[in-house]
Chains A and B, each alone.
Chain A
Amino acid sequence: MDYSEKVMDHFANPRNCRKMEDANGVGTVGNPTCGDLMTIYIKVEDDVIQDISFQTFGCGAAIATSSMITEIAVGKTIDEALKISRNDVAEELDGLPPIKMHCSNLAADGLQAAIENYKENNQ
């Protein structure tokens, strides 16, 4: 697979890859049958994402996008974080192979699911 250096770096040295026991928002997207499953954990205080981590089963692109979004989203308000798109993540990684844009670029969806979960928990 023709991955950028940045993708390979995030795949080989993933940032914030861990379960978060005290998360107040958790989102899981993907389907293991399709080859990717991603859980994003967030800890939100005063509407700001103070901490974010992930667990991912999937290909190099799935792991790299998970890792990248933790770097993009940390410190952002949840409204700002909701605006992060799949393309933003791919661009930050200097692009993804076209075939992976559709299937493994799940991290933005995962973060949105985690924020929705946080909002439900705090209604």
Chain B
Amino acid sequence: MYLDNSATTQVSEEVFEEMKPYFREEFGNPSTLYGIGRESKKALNQARQRVADAINAKPEEIIFTGGGSESDNLAIKGIAFKLAKKGKHIITTDFEHPAVKETLYFLESLDFKVTYLPVYENGVIKIDDLKEAITDETILITVMHGNNEIGTVQPIEEIGKIAREKGIKFHTDAVQTFGKIPVDVEKLNVDLLSLSSHKINGPKGVGALYIKKGTRVTPLIHGGGQERGIRAGTENVPGIVGFGKACELAANQLDEHYEKLSSIRDELIDKVLGTIPEAYLNGDKEKRLPNLVNFRFKAIEGESLILLLDAKGYQASTGSACSSNKLEASPVLTALGLDPVDVHGSLRISLSPESEKFDVDEFVDILSEAVSRLRQMSPLWNDDLDYDGVMCKKHGDDCRMC
């Protein structure tokens, strides 16, 4: 059973069917004037309307991109470059997705100043911190809607209200929330909002940036004038068509999916915390997505746990350094102020609407067995030794964790 839907999702059958004609029969370039070009243009327009409808925007406010990361880059660099003469200060949080964080690091290298708001133990920012951080130089606030690792949801509406009062542009990365909780650009008071297709059972390699009418950004990709000159390049028509369909389906079934997923989530949280000793939930219990939970278990390491679960047919993920390409513990969990040793014992479970067949009792039994098995092996669980004196002999001076 696939429990890693925050990483990516399976393209749904309806979406796949909708895309098919645009690979071979309807292969025209939307910028051309003859029949098959016009057909592609029509499909593009319909998809744009569907995306716009799903977030209560106007079609001309939707720019198709190559995915969530590109949308974040376009929003942040696009505003920074456009408004650099007005000011060079940007406000964000301590635990943004790398697509936002790395973009801001890049801007820092170009002399922009960035304030990183703390997210505290519950993974939610405090509005007062934001108010204090605003200066006359602030041109942009970028705060993610739902966190991709722990699923906490930020007070976007309130942040947007403050940004608007101060005349500061406001961007949110809604990649994880879209299709899970209501995303209404009017209610959220946002100027820019990033979306991704492959998190909502659409194809990979396509996303969108909502840009509120009147907000101007400097393009990242220059060329043939597509997407109103904001994102050049012949459009990924099959991908965009699939994304449009996925948006329509997600929006239509939002309430039904929310009910279903949040009840599975709550059952899972209660049973895991009730069954497994020294198990904890990461992030605020209330302000969270219906489909994502993140636990931590004392004295075990996450990669081992993932391998044991995989052997039993469950695919999930962890924030342990041992599972990352950089051998770096999850910056999100670290930002919560957790002990680095505990970060290694984290487990993320993310559900999809198809997870209704997910048997929570059976899963918790298997999880509980895996955790206790690893604890039987773990000197951290079985010994009262003080390990502070044990030196790291393996990483040496370049160990990021030591």
Contacts and interface: CB of A to CB of B under 8 A. Distances in A.
Contacts of B321: 34-35
Contacts of A17: 376-377
Interface string B370-383: 00000011111111
Contacts of A103: 322, 327, 394-395
A56 B392 contact: no
Contacts of A102: 394-395
Contact of A57 (B327, B340, B379, B392): B379
A59 B378 contact: no
Given A58-B304, A59-B304, A36 B379 contact: no
A111 to B, nearest CB: 13
B382 A33 contact: no
Nearest to A58: B301
Interface stretch (A24-32, A43-51, A75-83, A87-95): A24-32
B392 A60 contact: no
B307 interface: yes
B390 A34 contact: no
Given A31-B392, A32-B387, A60-B307, A55 B378 contact: yes
A4 B140 CA distance: 48
A32 B382 contact: no
B72 interface: no
A104 interface: yes
A39 B379 contact: yes
Contacts, number: 112
Interface residues of B, number: 37
A96 interface: no
A30 B377 contact: no
B305 to A, nearest CB: 10
Nearest to A8: B307
Contacts of A19: 382-383
B322 A57 contact: no
Contacts of A99: 325, 327
B399 interface: yes
Contacts of A38: 379
A34 B401 contact: yes
Nearest to B322: A59
A122 B40 CA distance: 82
B402 interface: yes
From A17, A31, A55, A104, name the one whose CB has the most chain B CB atoms within 10 angstroms. Answer: A31
A34 B301 contact: no
Contacts of A34: 321, 392, 394-395, 399, 401-402
A100 B385 CA distance: 26
B110 interface: no
Contact of B341 (A1, A33, A55, A104): A33
A14 B307 CA distance: 14
Contacts of B308: 12
Contacts of A55: 377-379, 382-383
13 contacts: A14-B377, A31-B387, A31-B392, A31-B395, A31-B401, A35-B321, A37-B380, A56-B377, A57-B301, A60-B307, A63-B304, A103-B395, A104-B394
Interface of A: 1, 8, 11-12, 14, 17, 19, 28-39, 55-60, 62-63, 99, 102-104, 106, 109
Return the 8 tightest CB-CB contacts between A and B, nearest first: A59-B322, A31-B392, A59-B303, A55-B379, A57-B378, A32-B341, A35-B322, A39-B379
Given A31-B387, A32-B344, A37-B379, 8 more contacts: A31-B401, A33-B402, A34-B395, A36-B301, A39-B383, A55-B379, A99-B327, A109-B393
Interface of B: 299-301, 303-304, 307-308, 311, 320-323, 325, 327, 329, 340-341, 344, 376-383, 385, 387, 390-395, 399, 401-402
